[in-house]
């Protein structure tokens, strides 16, 4: 079953993020049950290339999307965060964004892991985040699906990523999308006094 119940949707307004509730079309009402018993999201996810105008929404999203289970506390403090979301090394072209009900609700950053031509068949997910109030509606799944499709068309052979061993939600998401574990960097980080593994995952496109 979807983790976000219809009753929690109005909280999207609370953050000032601007997401608003969708009233399902009459034909959609009562038709939201998947064959396996899960409740289908009533929200439409649309993925598109990022543009400069997304910057404000992405700065707001980035400020609240990460936790000590999913990211690095040293980079989360307000005075440690970049003033801009995009910069020379991270231009809009490196990102896809997802809109939920027409508002930016998540992003994925895709970059080559190295500049080596011998490594050019590989692309790495170097950032994926969804607004906390927009989660469990298929936003991250939509971003990954769109990224995979675009990369496959470009001839990319393999999509890789690194995920903290404490990030159960993201690991589940990647496994659901067919990523497999290729290795683990044991106790690679020390986060809040606890040693945390870094899990390497990949999917053949």
Ligand X SMILES: CC(C)(COP(=O)(O)OP(=O)(O)OC[C@H]1O[C@@H](n2cnc3c(N)ncnc32)[C@H](O)[C@@H]1OP(=O)(O)O)[C@@H](O)C(=O)NCCC(=O)NCCS
26 or 122, CB closer to ligand X? 122
Q: Which of 54, 57, 58, 66 binds ligand X (CB under 6 A)?
A: 66
Q: What is the DSSP letter of 35?
A: T
3 or 49, CB closer to ligand X? 3
Q: Per residue in 171-195, is it b (16+ CB within 10 Å) or e — as a string?
A: bebbeeeebeeeeeeeeeeeeeeee
26 or 173, CB closer to ligand X? 173
Task: Give whole-number Cα distances, 131 to 33, 83, 144, 159, 180, in Å.
Answer: 24, 19, 16, 23, 25
Task: Give whole-number Cα distances, 113 to 80, 122, 137, 161, in Å.
Answer: 24, 7, 29, 9
For the segment 72-131, give every residue that binds ligand X (CB under 6 A): 128-130
Q: Which of 59, 169, 191, 200 binds ligand X (CB under 6 A)?
A: 169
Q: Does 140 bind ligand X (CB under 6 A)?
A: yes
For the segment 33-62, give every residue that binds ligand X (CB under 6 A): 38
Which residue has tokens 């609700």?
105
Tell me which residues touch ligand X (CB under 6 A): 2-3, 38, 65-66, 70, 128-130, 135-141, 163, 167, 169-170, 172-173, 176
């Amino acid at each position: 079953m979807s983790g976000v119940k219809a009753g929690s949707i109005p909280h999207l307004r609370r953050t000032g993020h601007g997401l608003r509730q969708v009233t399902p079309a009459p034909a959609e009402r009562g038709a939201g049950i998947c064959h396996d018993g899960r409740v289908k999201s009533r929200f439409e996810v649309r993925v598109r290339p990022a543009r400069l105008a997304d910057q404000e929404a992405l700065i707001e999203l980035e400020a609240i999307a990460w936790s000590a289970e999913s990211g690095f506390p040293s980079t989360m403090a307000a005075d440690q965060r970049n003033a801009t979301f995009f910069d020379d090394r991270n231009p809009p072209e490196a990102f896809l964004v997802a809109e939920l009900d027409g508002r930016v609700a998540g992003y994925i950053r895709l970059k080559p892991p190295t500049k080596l031509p011998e490594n050019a068949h590989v692309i790495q997910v170097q950032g994926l985040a969804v607004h906390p109030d927009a989660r469990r509606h298929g936003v991250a799944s939509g971003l990954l699906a769109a990224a995979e499709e675009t990369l496959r068309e470009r001839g990319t052979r393999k999509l890789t990523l690194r995920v903290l061993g404490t990030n159960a939600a993201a690991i589940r998401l990647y496994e659901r999308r067919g990523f497999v574990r290729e290795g683990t960097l044991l106790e690679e980080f020390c986060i809040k006094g606890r040693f945390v593994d870094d899990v390497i995952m990949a999917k053949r496109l």
